[in-house]
Amino acid sequence: MAKKHNKQKKKSHGRIVLRTGEALVEAEQGWSAAEPEVVIGELDGPVGYAIANLLGDQIKGHSRVFAILNCDVQVRPVTLMVSKVTVKNTKYTNILMGTVQAAIANGVLDAVRAGDIPKDKAKDLGIIVSVWLDPSVVSEKIDAKVLFETHRAATTRAIHKAMHHEPDIDWLLEHQDKVTHCFHQMALEANPPG
């Protein structure tokens, strides 16, 4: 009698070439706002090439660093942080390369734990996170715990949206005339016609 091999077939998630997502999370304090934009894809594709190019082509004021839990503990999928603004302030740098860097690393792992990033693809994928901090972080007394939690949650949410193609085109078409960009609305209110 032949022995039956009872091996489970490994679930294939297919190739993830390039996915994009963004999110906004803010606590009560304005300085707590986190608005990451993410690009996710295979390391042997355009995202991996972009990570290598960005890391190897450092620009003053726009340092690119890996998301880490702590020095010597890089997360997977490999995640590269890129600042959306030119960094000119030491306090801003310390917050970005400390609290926010750790928050993004934890947000990535949260996305793996939630299943948004398949665990079996963690070594094959790369993430680029474009990071923005409210400028008031340099002038206000901030709570590092609050800032950590907003950036962690925003990173996880942006990854979720990227991996699930959210919002989808049907939702966008249905809600196009119901959604107004908040800064556009503020401009309209500041400069009413007439």
Tell me whether residue 173 is in a domain: no
pTM for the full model?
A: 0.87
pLDDT digits (tens, 9 = 90+) for 40-83: 999 999 999 999 999 888 777 778 899 999 989 999 999 999 98
Q: Average per-residue pLDDT in the chain?
A: 89
Give 3-state DSSP helix, strand, coil % of the chain, rounded to 5: 40, 20, 40
Tell me whether residue 5 is in a domain: no
pLDDT digits (tens, 9 = 90+) for 92-121: 888 888 999 999 999 999 999 999 999 999
Alpha-carbon gap, residue 131 to 92, rounded angstroms: 12
Q: What is the pLDDT of residue 12?
A: 52
Q: For residue 118, what are the domain limits?
A: 19-161
Tell me whether residue 1 is in a domain: no
- The tokens for 171 are 């939702």
Domain harbouring 75, CATH code? 3.30.230.60
The confidence band for 194, taking pLDDT boundaries of 50, 70 and 90, is: low
Tell me whether residue 63 is in a domain: yes
Q: Which residues of 10-46 are buried (b: 16+ CB within 10 A; e: fewer)?
A: eeeeeebeebebebebbeebebbbbbbbbbbbbeebe
Alpha-carbon gap, residue 192 to 177, rounded angstroms: 19
Residues 162, 164, 165, 166, Cα dihedral to 10°? -90
In the chain, the percentage of residues whose pLDDT exceeds 90 is 63
Tell me whether residue 49 is in a domain: yes
In the chain, the number of structural domains is 1
Whether the bond into 167 is cis, omega within 30 of 0: yes
